Chain A
């Protein structure tokens, strides 16, 4: 299995700050990496696919980068509604795996 490791597990930042979340794969996954946002009691929502492609309707303050084994989700100018848990997921292997999640708190 491909293991996905996110860091940090939680982060707290102020409105307007830039937040960076890292996802590391246990082997090369090229660009087969997606990012999701999940708010309490809701289904996850796709933010980024193919490592850096912004899903339609997602604010442009969200961006993704990386390839191979190291990936980053950046939230520029953090907003109160960005308070959520964020997950990465690899789709390189037919056996998909998620990272353990990063909880973002907006102060």
Chain B
């Protein structure tokens, strides 16, 4: 059973870069058996898909964030990360990492507990 856990700063200043890490256990990022995703949720609002990393190295991003978002992996640490540049208050949210099997109908099966990131000076 794959388990994932988000970590990173809980407070980021406006215009700076938000950086989060998702540590994976019970599965290997380099195995190719999964897709590695990030989702966020502003307080009191719905879920927003941010993007995903595939073990092939391919990535897909939400067009509304494209140009600001990068998802990458460190296979030596079995972690993947999210970087979001030029943040504003609108980026304040709970950020989840989530994992699906490597077929499109899988659904997001394994979720982290989420980490709150506040953008404020």
| Min C-beta distance of A37 to chain B, whole Å | 12
Separation of A50 and B106 alpha carbons in the complex (Å): 7
Separation of A94 and B114 alpha carbons in the complex (Å): 23
Nearest CB to that of A101 among chain B residues?
A: B46
Contact of B106 among A38, A42, A43, A49 (CB under 8 A): A49
Q: Interface segment, B8-16, B47-55, B68-76, B79-87?
A: B47-55
Separation of A29 and B113 alpha carbons in the complex (Å): 29
Are A49 and B105 closer than 8 Å at their CB atoms? yes
Interface assignment of A69: CB less than 8 Å from any CB of chain B: no
Are A50 and B49 closer than 8 Å at their CB atoms? no
Complex interface: chain B residues within 8 A of A46 (CB): 107-109
Given the known inter-chain contacts A1-B63, A43-B96, please indicate yes or no for A96 contacting B52, CB distance below 8 A. yes
Residues of A in contact (CB 8 Å), total 29
Separation of A32 and B60 alpha carbons in the complex (Å): 17
Interface assignment of B42: CB less than 8 Å from any CB of chain A: no
Complex interface: chain B residues within 8 A of A98 (CB): 39, 46-49
Complex interface: chain B residues within 8 A of A1 (CB): 63
- The listed residue with most A CB atoms (<10 A of its CB), out of B46, B52, B106, B107, is B107
Complex interface: chain A residues within 8 A of B105 (CB): 31-32, 49-51, 53, 91
Are B106 and A91 closer than 8 Å at their CB atoms? yes
Interface assignment of B25: CB less than 8 Å from any CB of chain A: no
Contact residues of A with B, CB < 8 Å? 1, 31-32, 34, 36, 38, 42-46, 48-51, 53, 55, 87, 89, 91-92, 94-101
The 9 closest A-B pairs by CB, nearest first: A49-B107, A34-B107, A43-B111, A50-B105, A94-B60, A96-B49, A98-B47, A101-B46, A46-B107
* A-B residue pairs in contact (CB < 8 Å), sample of 8: A36-B108, A38-B47, A44-B111, A49-B105, A49-B109, A87-B47, A91-B104, A91-B106
